[in-house]
Each structure stands twice: as C-alpha cells, then as structure tokens.
Structure 1
Amino acid sequence: MRLARFGIVGDVHGEHLALARALDSLRAWGAERILVVGDVLDGPGDVERCLDQLRAPDVDVVAGNHERWFLERTMRKLPHATSELSPSALAFVRTLPRTLRYETPAGPLLLCHGLGDDDMAGVRPWDEGYALASNTALQQLLDGREIRWVARGHTHQRMIRHFGAALTILNAGTLARDEQPGLLRVDLHARVAERLDVIGERVVLVDAESI
C-alpha cells in the first residue's frame, strides 16, 4: 500500500476513550490510514473496546511486547494486566503481525513496535554515541538502507528523530492517561509531522516539524 497522509497512534494500553478521540481526529483530518504501534493490552481501560475499534478497515495494527506477553501468559502480574479476552478479541490479537511495510512518496516506511522484529528495542531522544552504536536493531535498519521511515512505539516518548538522510524514526508516544497521551499526523507530500495531545475530550495540535 502507498501512503502519504497518515496518523500514528502510540501504545494504547486499554485507553478506549483516548483511542476513540484519536481515531476520530485523524479521520476528520483526512488520514489515508491510521497506524497503531501495538501494546493495546494491559491497561486500566476497556481492552475489548479498544480491539473493537482497531478492527476498522482504515486501521493497521502491529503486535507489541504486551500482546506477546499475553499470548505467552507471562508478565501477568503487571498492574492492569489483561487476564482474558473474548474468543473474537483473542483471534484478532493472534493475527497481529510484528511489522508492516508501506511505500510512500518519500521512500519505504516500516510500522513496528520496537525496532523491526525486536519488540523490546528502542531509541530514546537522549541516546547518543555508544547507545546508538550498540543498538543492533537500529544498526540493522541503517545498514540495510531499505527503510526510510520507521513508525514505532514502546518507549512511550513522542519523538521525531533523523539519522541523516538515511532514516527517520517517528514515535507517537502513548495514550496512557498518566503519560501525556498523544499522537502524530504525518503528511509526506507536505513533508510535515504534527504532534497532538489528547486532553479530556479534545485533541489539540501542539506543534509541527518539517521532515
């Protein structure tokens, strides 16, 4: 699929109300697709309602480490851990891929949770030097030169970070209520990314950055 104008929703963690507002906002803006980076499970809201919303035809979702942990029946003592799912929700979670790839007017884009197939890998805004050089998943993406854009989550830190002209990482953050819930809007025709906050019943534009 070829994308140019799309939204990115960060780690959901059961926040069904924030998710509904994020999806409505991105659709009103005119997103061609809505990319969701995983970690839908394990949160204080209604996980089943989140999964229902994510079955929409204009939404693509990848699995995060929390989906993997649920299916492995590990880490179930986490706060707000999802204990069970309905048969239809469980079937949906089991079908979630690790990654999805898209073509864009500005080069290939990879949707993932961590980095590539590694759902625990990540890059943070302050990572420099050895932290980057020793990041195997990041170096594989840079060395491969196949992917120009990565839409990812996991760290809960909203970030737009460029690695020269080779790779740009787009992290929408999280919808978790106690971590400044937000999302990203990306227009690769205009080459701009916009950060938005979910504040109560509103979705508010924070700032924009040329990419």
Structure 2
Amino acid sequence: MTLPDRFAVLADIHGNADALRAVLQDIDAQGIGTVLNLGDMFSGPLAAGETWALLHDRAFPTVRGNHDRYLIEQRPEEMQPSDRAAHDDLPPEALDWLRNLPVRLELDEALLCHATPRDDQTYWLEDVSAEGHVHPATHASVAERLGAVTQPLILCAHTHLPRIARHGDQLIVNPGSVGCPGYADTHPVPHVMQTGTPDACYALLTRAGARWQVTHRHVPYDSTRMAALARARGREDWAEAVAMGWLTQ
C-alpha cells in the first residue's frame, strides 16, 4: 500500500462508539479516504458491540493493541472488568477478526504498532518514574525503543496522549485517543494518564515535501450517553474520564 498525500490515524477507541462516530464524521467531511487504526478498539464498559458495527465495514488497515490481545488470549473469568465488559458485548466474528490482526504493519514508508514494535505495553514517548510520575521520554529512551526500525514515519499509540517526536529524520506520531481521554494503570507502576479534555482525538497527516505535517484534531461530541453507560456498570472512573478528560478520584 502506498500512502496517499493525506490520511488519518486513529487509536484507542476503547468502545466509545459516540466518540468514534464523531471522528468518522469529521474525517469524512474532509474527504479523507485512508484511515489507519492503531488498536485497542473495544475494551471498556461502554459500547464495544456498537463500535464493532462502526468499524466492520470500513476495513481500515489495523494493528492489534494490548487490550485487543487480552480479549483473545485470556479466559473471560480471568479478564479485568473493562476487558470482560467488552468481551461479553462483542459477537464471535469480532473476536475472530482480532485474532487475525498483525501486531505491527509496514505500509510504504510507515511502521504501525500499538505501543512499540517489541512490546504492546511499553510507552514510546513517555516514561513513568518509580513514584508514578509521567514525563516525556528522554532522547535515549526514544532511540532505544526505535531499535532497528528504519522507516521515516512511525505511528504508535497506547498512552492516549497526542504527541509527536523527531529522532533524526524519523518522525514518531501518537494520534491520541478517540474514546478514552483518561485512565489509571498499574504497569509498570501505578500511575494516571489524562488529557484534560473529553474531546475525541485523532491525527491528520499531510505530506509536506519530503516530510509530514501533523495536525491533532480534537473533535467535540456529546459524551453523556457513554458516561451513563459507564456509570450504569459501576465504573465512575470511566464516566468521569469520558465526561471530563480528567480523573479526580
């Protein structure tokens, strides 16, 4: 596949069908025909089945995320609540689709992965201290995670934070999260990620000579229904993150 001069990148939908719907409408309104998907599409106490219905007919080039992997590797009774909620809401064909997704994808001059090429749980552009403080990764850390990657454009996700970084002639782009603007995690140590906005986020890339211009699009949408779904499942943390982009509890 040859990359067009203009395309969109999305990631980390996490079952937020209303956010995805808003992003797809924004993409379609701009006449963008190519969309790349960096995974973690369903896990969350929201609307995984509805999200699958929106993605099913689009056939976006897609890589599998860590939560997508949990949905197909773990037994339902072993899953964390967010993964179990998604698993129970998805039809069998969605799980079959996840099983057949690659963990990395090379498209023309771009490398796609969910987190890093070697590990679907490692942040690429951020580091977490032993005390749980999140900060931009050092130049050395970014370079180490590149390893033998030679593509000039690297598309990664996982942190939910919209970011770009340059390493020599290589551009690393994180499009942010379509549907989950804040979360708490325990890997590698307990910490919180939050964007501070409930808007659905994705990236628009436009060729500018030999380089790429990156625009992070923040799309407002009505998060009321998704927050209510999370609250109905006893997930006030998710309801707060979806509604505010912050975690205050």
Question: TM (normalized to structure 2)?
Answer: 0.69
> Bigger CA drift: 155-164 or 119-128?
119-128
**Is 1:53 aligned to 2:72, yes or no?**
no
**Unaligned stretches of 5+ in structure 2?**
127-135, 183-196, 224-249
> Does the CA contact (< 8 Å) of 1:54 and 1:61 recur in 2?
no
**Offset of residue 201 of structure 1:** 5.0
> Partners of 2:111 and 2:180 in 1: how far apart?
27
What is the aligned partner in structure 1 of residue 189 from structure 2? Answer: none
**Distance in 1 of aligned mates of 2:58 and 2:221:** 26
RMSD between aligned residues: 2.3
Q: Distance in 1 between matches of 2:37 and 2:100?
A: 14
Higher mean C-alpha deviation, range 90-99 or range 147-156 = 90-99
The corresponding residue for 1:205 is: none
CA distance in 1, matches of 2:165, 2:139: 15
Assess, with a 3 A threshold, how the Cα gap between structure 1 residues 117 and 130 changes in structure 2: closer, same or farther.
closer
Q: Which runs of 4+ in 1 moved over 6 A?
A: none
Task: Give the letter for the 1:97 counterpart.
Answer: P
1:182 aligns to 2:190 (yes or no): no
Match for residue 193 of structure 1 among 205, 214, 221 = 214
Aligned residues: 191
2:61 alignment partner, SS class: strand
Cα distance in 1 between the residues matched to 2:180 and 2:67? 17
Counterparts of 2:142 and 2:203, CA distance in 1 = 24
Aligned residue identity for 1:193: V
Larger radius of gyration: 2
Return the letter of the residue paired with 1:176: G
Structure 2 distance, partners of 1:127, 1:113, is: 17
TM-score, reference length from structure 1? 0.80
Q: Is the 8 A contact 2:36 2:60 kept in 1?
A: yes
- Whether the aligned pair in 2 keeps the contact of 1:32 and 1:58 (CA below 8 Å) is no
Do the aligned residues in 1 keep the contact of 2:14 with 2:48 (CA within 8 Å)?
yes
Q: Provide the C-alpha distance between the structure 2 equivalents of 1:37 and 1:188, rounded to a whole number of angstroms.
A: 20
The one of 148, 153, 168 equivalent to 2:157 is: 153
Matches within 5 A, 1:135-154: 135=144, 137-141=145-149, 145=150, 147-154=151-158
Post-superposition shift, 1:130? 4.7
Of 152, 161, 168, which aligns to 1:164? 168
Instruction: Tell me which residue corresponds to 2:98.
Output: 93
SS of the residue aligned with 1:185? strand
Distance in 1 of aligned mates of 2:101 and 2:59: 15
Runs (5+) with no aligned partner, structure 1: 203-211
> Kindly, what percent of the aligned residue pairs are identical?
26
